Amino acid sequence: MEPHNQTAVSQFLLLGLSDDPALQSVIFTLFLSMYLVTILGNLIIIMMVSSDPHLHTPMYFFLCNLSFNDICLHTCTIPRMLVNLQTQDQRITYTGCLCQVAFVIVFAFVENFLLTVMAYDCYVAICHPLVYTVIMNPHLCVLLFLSCLLISITVALFHTLMVLCLSFCTNLEIPNFFCELAQVIKLSCSDTIIDNTMVYVSTSIFGGVPFSGIIFSYIHIVSSVLRMPSSKGKHKAFSTCGSHLSVVSLF
């Protein structure tokens, strides 16, 4: 493949999910509906939590931020796809592609971290109820959220800067409806061993650790609930973390 200098790359082509015109109209309707439902549902959650003082608790603080993050994550990808389907123009600029890569990484990692923090909140509420308000104070909640955001931005900037160092070939077609980091790296003519290794390492660490944290928290939660003598206490404990279980199952 004929290599191009990185600065000469002006655009990529997003091939989308299908090139069949009949199927594209179905995909457009499906993704538009999904996007509107996602935006509306998350906005309802945010408005309900904001308007009800009884919901101003750590769990609903994180749930509210998770809903806003979900809106941002979908807005990074789906509107661009809908525009491409409507205009039949698959092009995306080099700068726009890198921005999309960075924002998708940020919001995807924030999502994972928030789910883990919510699991920790449930763990403290069930296993240490007497000191819950002391541990999960507003200062710690804000600090945990900012930590999630800072780590995610750092990882996204690191991967984006590594992509900036790559040179690309004549084949600039991305077989997806958005610029995914792994797909962009595959298009490079440069040696991508370090890039691919860092993708695997960061995914393993920042995906595996949050997942392990969720599993660890719920193992302790379930064991604590099973040791409760009354069925009423068990029901109350499970209802406390029921919203988080629903969110984790959905994601």
Confidence of residue 13 (pLDDT cuts 50, 70, 90): confident
Torsion of CA 180, 184, 186, 190, to 10 degrees: -150
Q: Are 128 and 121 in contact (CB under 8 A)?
A: no
What is the pLDDT, as a whole number, of residue 6? 45
Q: What is the pLDDT of residues 23-69, one digit of tens each?
A: 888 989 999 999 999 999 999 999 999 998 888 889 889 989 999 99
Is residue 172 over pLDDT 60?
A: yes
Report which listed range, 117-131, 144-158, 226-240, is most confident. 144-158
pLDDT at 8: 59
- The SS3 of residue 229 is coil
Total number of residues shown for the chain: 251
Per DSSP, the residues of 50-96 read HH-GGG-SHHHHHHHHHHHHHHHHHHHHHHHHHHHHHHT--EEEHHH
**Of 69, 57, 55, 181, nearest to 115 (Cα)?**
69
113, 148 in Cβ contact below 8 A? yes
pLDDT band at 1 (very low <50, low <70, confident <90, very high): very low
Mean pLDDT for the stretch of residues 120-141: 89
d(CA 206, CA 110): 10
CA pair distance 15, 173, nearest whole angstrom: 7
Q: Look at 14-23, 44-53, 150-159 and tell me which has the smallest mean pLDDT.
A: 14-23
CA distance 13 to 172: 6
Residues 6+ apart with CB under 8 A from 193: none
Amino acid at 168: F
Whether residue 5 is predicted with pLDDT greater than 50 in this model: the reply is no
Mean predicted confidence (pLDDT) in 73-101: 90
* Strand 173-174 to 11-14 pairing: parallel
Burial label, 113 (beta-carbon count in 10 A; 0-12, 13-18, 19+): buried
